[in-house]
Amino acid sequence: MGDCIVVVGVDKNLADLSDEFKEQLRCPNARLTITIETDGITECIHACGSPNLLLTHESDIVVRKSQHVDSRTLAVCADKAANDLSRKLMEKLRNPAQKAKITLTVSAP
């Protein structure tokens, strides 16, 4: 697994997000909380939305610390990258059979 990859094999993609969710995420000053839960371990990542988000990719979902946007970008200006997540969480996610729940919560002013 690469050092920038957290989860593979998700059952949703950016194109699957509801139009309402996408609209909220594209609001100026929108904030996104990404909660990753697996086997009793929970970790949150906070990031920003952007009016420039395309949210159209059908397989990749990328959360960036930078402000770069392309079709794979879910959010920008994240407070954590993969290497900032807890080692316990990452050890669990290295197991290909490990299931994880990822919850996306957007708040827009």
pLDDT at 74: 94
pLDDT at 12: 86
Nearest to 67 by CA among 57, 56, 59, 78: 78
In Å, the largest CA–CA distance within the chain is: 39
How do the pLDDT tens digits run along the chain, 109 residues long? 344 556 667 788 899 999 999 999 999 999 999 999 999 999 999 999 999 999 999 988 899 999 999 999 999 999 998 889 999 998 998 888 999 999 999 998 8
- CATH fold of 14-107, please? Jelly Rolls (2.60.120)
Going from N- to C-terminal start, the domains of the chain cover 14-107
List the structure tokens of 103.
Answer: 């919850």
pLDDT at 8: 66
